């Protein structure tokens, strides 16, 4: 009887899950990385390898969203035998057919995984360069919608602002449908690249723990993303003195933080430094105008030296004034927010600071959280057993990041496209024989 290939466990067993120092480890296939994760199950009575189960979840999440484990099981049950063979699914010796794992098995495995280990595995896979040896299969059909979508994306993508450093956005997200055994909500904190909204690290904030310690663990997990010299953008929740010292002193990065009411003294100092007539800030002002999604937005950013403001390593403060209105140009609302950064005027002028603030929203808010909430219905998912909510979120990050690396702009459209063909999903992750 034919035996399933043993490529899932090979010479890479000595490599570490999150290691990317050598060329060999940086080019590991997804299933090879899965094989390095610790299996929470007992060896007795084990049919399906951990790598094959996680490969099923990764592929099914692209097609069905991972919002329901029953849907993942259904995707596997409807997969052709050749697809199951490519995923190294257990083969029944009596019938000769590959039998995918049940929903109960998938749930038990995901709930028992080490969440830090899984996140490191998937983040390292997304951080490696795309495979340069494509499969010799027929190209996927290109729909008129896909072509139109690509043209629109090209038109609305602004020109790259010169002088930008590599930037990453940090933000937390509560999973509304998931709870700790003690009743608290599951809270995840993520690090996403401004460039492509790929999640490079994710951590779960323990109950009764601060986000400062979680931020430190998150950045330590992301050492392979070369944070040294990069810019970390954060919302008002992370605008803390401890966070600023952590980024500068421990991780040798820069920060761009928003200042709101949680720091009243700091906000008052920023308002004082930035108050004055426009004529006094002409050389340190940047203006942007956007039109789309049924509205117009005019943004004005001005900067000022931090001076004697009491905040670690502060070099500049800035103010963003946003005017929003309809397509007719009539303004309906105004918003003012303040920020602080350790970047000097030579390192980041008004245009660069505006790009960092805008990039934060595009990367983490719109590129990660919105997609997981709307496209993958994450908040409607009520999985709450042990590591299960975090594991499903990690696979949603994997699906989104892999689809973007494949050139897709609209994740919802891409998921529908891949939902019609099991083999295309395997090709997306470069699984199966070449």
Residue 355 token pair: 């790009």
Task: Report the first-to-last Cα separation within the chain, whole angstroms.
Answer: 23
Instruction: Out of 18-32, 252-266, 410-424, pick the least confident.
Output: 18-32
Q: Token digits for 217?
A: 């663990």
Q: What is the pLDDT of residues 357-371, one digit of tens each?
A: 999 999 999 999 999
Q: Is the pLDDT of residue 244 over 70?
A: yes
Between 221 and 334, name the one with better pLDDT. Answer: 334
Stretch among 92-106, 117-131, 310-324 having the lowest mean pLDDT: 117-131
Q: Write the CA distances from 207 to 186, 239, 243, 299, 369, integer angstroms.
A: 8, 21, 19, 38, 21
**Confidence at 220, pLDDT banded by 50, 70, 90:** confident
Q: Please, which pLDDT band fits residue 383 given cuts at 50, 70 and 90?
A: confident
- Give CA–CA dist 169/132, Å, rounded: 28
pLDDT, residue 378, reads 86
pLDDT at position 290 is: 85
Q: What is the pLDDT of residues 6-56, one digit of tens each?
A: 333 333 343 444 444 434 444 578 999 999 999 999 888 889 999 999 999
- Kindly state which CATH superfamily the domain 167-375 is placed in: Transposase Inhibitor Protein From Tn5; Chain A, domain 1 (3.90.350.10)
Closest CA to 252 of 226, 271, 276: 226
Residue 145 confidence (pLDDT) above 70: no
285 forms beta bridges with: 302
Confidence band (pLDDT; 50, 70, 90) for 291? confident
Q: How does residue 318 score in pLDDT terms, banded at 50, 70 and 90?
A: very high
What does the pLDDT read at residue 3? 41
- pLDDT exceeds cutoff 90 at 276: yes
Q: Is the pLDDT of residue 275 over 90?
A: yes
Average pLDDT over residues 186-207: 89
Task: Identify whether the C-beta of residue 84 lies closer than 8 Å to the C-beta of residue 98.
Answer: yes
Query: Could you give the 3-state DSSP secondary structure of residue 285?
Result: strand
Q: How far apart are CA 301 and CA 345, in angstroms?
A: 14
The pLDDT, as a whole number, for residue 385 is: 78
Mean pLDDT computed over every residue of the chain:
84
DSSP letter assigned to residue 91:
B
Mean pLDDT (whole number) for 276-303? 90
Q: Where in 20-96 does DSSP place strands (E)?
A: none
Q: What pLDDT score was predicted for residue 417?
A: 86
User: How many CA within 13 A on the CB side of residue 46?
Assistant: 15
Report the C-alpha dihedral over residues 219, 221, 227, 231, rounded to 10 degrees: -40
d(CA 86, CA 319) in angstroms, rounded, equals 54
3-state secondary structure of 99: coil
Per domain, the residue ranges of the chain are 11-133+384-428, 167-375
**DSSP-assigned beta bridge partners for residue 287:** 300
C-alpha–C-alpha distance, residues 274 and 305, integer Å: 9
Q: Which pLDDT tens digit goes with each residue over 322-340?
A: 998 888 878 888 999 999 9
Six token digits for residue 247: 């980024």
Contact 428, 402 (CB under 8 A): yes
Say if residues 316 and 343 touch (Cβ distance below 8 Å): yes
Confidence of residue 147 (pLDDT cuts 50, 70, 90): low
Residues 215, 404, 409, 163: is their CA dihedral positive or negative? positive
The rounded distance, in Å, linking the Cα atoms of 3 and 393 is 34
Instruction: Report whether 235 contacts 211 (CB < 8 A).
Output: no
Give, in order, the Cα–Cα distances in Å from 201 to each of 20, 44, 216, 398: 14, 33, 11, 11
pLDDT for residue 148: 66
């Amino acid at each position: 009887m034919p035996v399933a290939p043993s490529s899932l466990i090979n010479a890479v067993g000595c490599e570490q899950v999150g290691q990317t120092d050598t060329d060999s480890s940086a080019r590991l296939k997804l299933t090879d990385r899965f094989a390095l994760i610790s299996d929470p199950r007992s060896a007795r009575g084990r049919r399906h390898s951990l790598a094959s189960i996680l490969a099923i979840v990764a592929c099914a999440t692209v097609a069905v969203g991972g919002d329901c484990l029953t849907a993942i099981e259904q995707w596997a049950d409807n997969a052709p035998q050749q697809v199951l063979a490519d995923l190294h699914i257990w083969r029944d010796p009596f019938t000769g057919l590959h039998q995918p794992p049940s929903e109960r098995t998938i749930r038990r495995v995901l709930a028992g995984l080490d969440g830090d280990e899984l996140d490191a595995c998937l983040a390292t896979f997304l951080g490696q360069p795309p495979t340069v040896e494509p499969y010799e299969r027929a190209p996927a059909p290109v729909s008129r919608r896909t072509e139109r979508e690509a043209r629109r994306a090209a038109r609305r993508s602004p020109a790259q602002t010169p002088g930008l450093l590599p930037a990453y956005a940090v933000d937390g997200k509560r999973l509304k449908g998931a709870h700790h055994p003690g009743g608290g909500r599951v809270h995840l904190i993520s690090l996403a690249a401004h460039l492509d909204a790929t999640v490079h690290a994710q951590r779960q904030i323990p109950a009764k723990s601060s986000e400062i310690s979680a931020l430190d663990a998150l950045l330590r997990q992301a050492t392979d993303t070369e944070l040294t010299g990069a810019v970390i953008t954060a919302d008002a929740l992370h605008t803390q003195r401890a966070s600023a010292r952590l980024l500068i002193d421990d991780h040798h990065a820069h920060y761009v933080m928003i200042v709101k009411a949680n720091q009243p003294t700091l906000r008052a100092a920023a308002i004082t430094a930035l108050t004055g007539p426009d004529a006094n800030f002409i050389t340190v002002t940047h203006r942007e105008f956007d039109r789309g999604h049924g509205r117009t937005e005019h943004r004005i950013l001005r900067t000022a030296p931090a001076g004697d403001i009491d905040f670690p390593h502060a070099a500049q403060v800035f103010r963003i004034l946003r005017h929003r209105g309809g397509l007719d140009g009539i303004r309906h609302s105004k918003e003012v927010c303040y920020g602080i950064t350790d970047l000097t005027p030579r390192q980041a002028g008004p245009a660069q600071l505006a790009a960092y603030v805008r990039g934060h929203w595009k990367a983490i808010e719109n590129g990660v959280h919105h997609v997981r909430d709307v496209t993958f219905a994450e908040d409607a998912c009520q999985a709450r057993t042990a590591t299960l909510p975090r594991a499903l979120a990690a696979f949603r990050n994997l699906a989104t990041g892999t689809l973007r690396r494949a050139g897709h702009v609209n994740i919802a459209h891409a998921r529908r496209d891949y939902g019609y063909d099991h083999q295309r999903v395997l090709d997306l992750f470069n699984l199966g024989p070449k």
